[in-house]
A = this chain, B = another copy of it.
Amino acid sequence: MMNLTILGCYAATPRTFTNPTSQVLEIKNHLFLIDCGEGTQVQLRKSKIKFSRIKHIFISHLHGDHFYGLIGLISTFRLLNRTQELHIFGPVGIKEIILLQLKYADSWTNFSLVFHELVSKESELILDEENLTVTTIPLNHRIYTNGFLFREKLGQRRINIDEVGKHEIEICDYQNLKNGKDYLTGQNKIIPNQRLTFDPPNPKSYAYCSDTVFNPGITSQIKGVDVLYHEATFLDEHQKLAAPTKHSTAKQAAEIARQAKVGKLVLGHYSTRYGSIQPFLEEAQSIFEQTLLADDGKVFCFD
């Protein structure tokens, strides 16, 4: 199960009915907060996401529409008497900005704030958990920016209860089967593991790429991911604005999805100049059919 909750997916400024970038990826029982524009904590409340389940926050870059809500969220964690560690991944500078504000407020957190400041221009492994990894996707934007690639690790094989039942295998042996070992019966007969188990579920993967100029250089790293979130600030009609501001069009996002042969593309980071976001879908689908539109409050379940 992999769920994506869009808290905000519009560019630039928060407005009455649209929010700057923030989203929550639920994967392998983790809740990862990705970017944190102003108003994110209110959006979290609206989506009824428990604050205490967030232990890792990933910030792509230090433009305000991607992180001005972070200091407020940290302060609220403090007021809610949080005690568990909070890990923050983001560009160098993020620690200085947060700590400076806590200093002037004379409001130190009673939980550990663990900053993982990023400086590398090469992709790097930044989180290695038992059941998943997170690596950076270096992006090309006006300032130092990373996307993030979340990838489940291959899980254990699953017991085929019907087959296992035929051989009077005891429960204490199940773990060996899950690990891929063959089974040796009391009569010294080997039963191959593949007869007693099913393959583990396909590990899921999610790539978050915002903000970035059109950059086919990233396709090798995100090849075949189940879901790609790619920014689409502009429609093709404003393509001339995309390159100088180092943003992408819906068409360009779709082109990346097509070249990387991803499962699904989710578009977001729409410029607030457009009255409707529907044209983004139509433009992208002409190139990559499996396109979805992010919108504030929307939840995608990728089973």
Q: A: which residues have CB within 8 A of B? A: 12-16, 38-39, 41-42, 45-46, 62-64, 68-69, 71-72, 75-76, 79, 91, 93-94, 96-97, 100-101, 104-107, 142-143
Question: Contact at A62–B105, with CB atoms within 8 Å?
Answer: yes
With known contacts A39-B42, A100-B97, A142–B64 Cβ distance under 8 A: no
Interchain Cβ contacts under 8 Å between A and B, 24 examples: A13-B72, A13-B75, A13-B76, A14-B39, A14-B41, A14-B72, A16-B42, A16-B46, A38-B41, A38-B69, A62-B101, A63-B107, A64-B71, A64-B72, A64-B105, A64-B107, A68-B71, A91-B104, A93-B104, A96-B100, A97-B97, A97-B100, A100-B100, A104-B143
Q: How far is the CA of A137 from the CA of B85 in the complex (A)?
A: 39
B residues near A105, Cβ cutoff 8 Å: 62-64, 143
Q: B64 to A68, Cβ gap below 8 A?
A: no
Closest to A101 in B: B97
Distance of A187 from chain B, by nearest CB (Å): 66
Q: How many copies does the complex hold?
A: 2
Contacts of A142 in B (CB 8 A): 106
State A64–B79 Cα separation when bound (angstroms): 11
Measured between beta carbons, the chain B residues less than 8 angstroms from A75 are: 13, 64, 68
Q: How far is the CA of A235 from the CA of B22 in the complex (A)?
A: 36
Chain B: minimal CB distance from A104 (Å): 4
- Bound complex: CA A53 to CA B282 (Å): 40
Q: Quote the shortest CB–CB distance from A111 to chain B (angstroms).
A: 16
- Report chain B residues within 8 Å CB of A93: 104
- Nearest residue, chain B, Cβ from A14: B42
The interface residues of chain B lying within 8 Å CB-to-CB of A38 are 38-39, 41, 69, 72
Least distance between A17 CB and chain B CB atoms (Å): 9
A21 CB to nearest chain B CB (Å): 13
Judging by beta carbons under 8 Å apart, are A68 and B72 in contact? yes
Q: A18: nearest residue on chain B (CB-CB)? A: B42
Q: Whole-angstrom distance between the alpha carbons of A79 and B68 in the complex?
A: 15
